[in-house]
């Protein structure tokens, strides 16, 4: 257990070193979100509206999306793919270290660091736009929101890790990865709230687990989610099922890797 704490600490140091680029990427997203906020504002000012959302709801949606982007979404698959393809994965085979737990720890420390940075940015932004932010009416909402975020983080990690270990089987995994990540992006509600999409699309997105990454947590916060409990249970089940699949997949992947004689 001690080793994982050390890994956490070391990666935190690393994240500290990269705080410059991290901040710039957050600011870049912030710039983009700002433009979107102007967009919504322009639409609502002209008397039009989007779905069942008030302007405040929409603005809050995107501020939260900015936060969730940095805090939850995982990009470790890039490194995992490189490690497997270049053979540095072998280093892990010889160490008494569980690959899945290792990456979970790294991801956790990185996300917490980024999360801290982005939360500060979002709080400032919300403060500036306080008149247009939909705040929850009860404290319970915040607790639920926190739980939703935790589930989102776990799921995001699991999806990304799964994509990463595809490299055990696929050579040209990077192009495939792009497609998968775009798909995830869409069905998570990161582009636009899912309930603005056409009905057929929504039917699909309701079945897929990706909505728990962005859409579900935000709906909880906005108090628009009609069946929060069902959502939590479903999300929890996905976490467990994916974990089992990942364990199994990792095992098979390692066997295949060893067989290839690295």
Partner 1 sequence: MKPLVTEAYATSLSGRWARYLRLYRSFLMHNLKNEMIYRANFAIAVGMDIVFMGVNVVFFAIVYGNVETIGGWTFHQTLILVGSVGVVRELAYLTFRQGFLQLGEYVRTGNFDVMLTAPMATFVHLAFRHVSLTESLGEGLMGLFLVGYGFAHLDAASWISVPLYLLMLFNSLVIYYAFSLMVNSMVFWLVKSQELNTVVYYFMNTARYPREIYHGLGKAFFTFIVPSSLIATTPASILAGRAEGHLIGLSIGVAVVLLGFALSMWNWSLHYYSSASS
CA distances from 262 to 90, 102, 120 (A): 7, 21, 45
Task: Decide: is 117 part of the binding site for partner 1 (CB under 8 A).
Answer: no
Closest separation between CB of residue 141 and partner 1, Å? 26
Which CB sits closer to partner 1, 70 or 105? Answer: 70
CA distance 20 to 26: 10
Task: Decide: is 20 part of the binding site for partner 1 (CB under 8 A).
Answer: yes
Cβ burial of 179 (10 Å; 0-12, 13-18, 19+) is exposed
Task: Decide: is 147 part of the binding site for partner 1 (CB under 8 A).
Answer: no
Task: Decide: is 28 part of the binding site for partner 1 (CB under 8 A).
Answer: yes
Q: Tokens for 169?
A: 């089987």
CA distance 180 to 192: 18
Q: Is 165 within 8 Å of 177 (Cβ atoms)? A: no
Identified binder of partner 1 from the candidate list 3, 4, 12, 41, rule CB under 8 A: 41
Identified binder of partner 1 from the candidate list 5, 38, 75, 169, rule CB under 8 A: 38
Radius of gyration of the chain (CA): 20
CA neighbor of 197 nearest in space, from 182, 185, 187: 187
Identified binder of partner 1 from the candidate list 1, 2, 21, 244, rule CB under 8 A: 21
CA distance 120 to 200: 38
Beta strand segments in 174-220, E? none
Q: Which of residues 215-254 bind partner 1 (CB under 8 A)?
A: none
Task: Decide: is 51 part of the binding site for partner 1 (CB under 8 A).
Answer: yes
Task: Decide: is 170 part of the binding site for partner 1 (CB under 8 A).
Answer: no
Span from 48-56, 68-76, 222-230, 244-252 in contact with partner 1 (CB under 8 A) = 48-56
Task: Decide: is 180 part of the binding site for partner 1 (CB under 8 A).
Answer: no
Name every residue whose Cβ is closer than 8 Å to that of residue 16 and which is 6 or more positions away in sequence. Answer: 113
Task: Decide: is 46 part of the binding site for partner 1 (CB under 8 A).
Answer: yes
The span from the first CA to the last CA of the chain, in angstroms, equals 29
Task: Decide: is 78 part of the binding site for partner 1 (CB under 8 A).
Answer: no
Span from 74-82, 84-92, 185-193, 230-238 in contact with partner 1 (CB under 8 A) = 185-193
Rule CB under 8 A: which residues touch partner 1? 20-21, 24-25, 27-28, 31-32, 34-35, 38-39, 41-43, 46, 48-51, 175, 178-179, 182, 185-186, 191-192, 196-198
């Amino acid at each position: 257990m001690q080793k994982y704490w050390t890994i956490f600490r070391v990666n935190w140091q690393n994240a500290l070193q990269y705080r410059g680029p991290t901040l710039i990427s957050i600011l870049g997203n912030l710039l983009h979100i700002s433009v979107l906020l102007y967009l919504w504002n322009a639409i609502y000012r002209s008397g039009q509206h989007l779905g069942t959302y008030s302007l405040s709801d929409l603005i809050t949606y995107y501020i939260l999306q900015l936060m969730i982007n940095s805090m939850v979404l995982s990009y470790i698959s890039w490194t995992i793919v490189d490690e497997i393809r270049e053979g540095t994965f072998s280093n892990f085979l010889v160490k008494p270290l569980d690959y899945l737990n290792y990456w979970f720890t790294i991801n956790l420390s990185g996300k917490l660091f980024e999360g801290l940075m982005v939360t500060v940015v979002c709080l400032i932004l919300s403060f500036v736009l306080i008149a247009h932010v939909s705040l929850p009416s009860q404290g319970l909402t915040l607790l639920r929101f926190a739980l939703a975020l935790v589930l989102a983080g776990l799921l995001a990690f699991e999806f990304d890790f799964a994509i990463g270990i595809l490299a055990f089987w696929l050579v040209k995994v990077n192009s495939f990865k792009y497609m998968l990540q775009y798909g995830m992006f869409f069905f998570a509600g990161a582009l636009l709230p899912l309930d603005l999409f056409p009905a057929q699309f929504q039917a699909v997105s309701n079945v897929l687990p990706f909505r728990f990454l962005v859409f579900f947590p935000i709906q909880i916060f906005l108090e628009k989610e009609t069946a929060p409990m069902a959502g939590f249970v479903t999300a929890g089940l996905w976490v467990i099922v994916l974990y089992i699949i990942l364990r199994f997949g990792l095992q098979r992947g390692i066997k295949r890797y060893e067989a290839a004689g690295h």
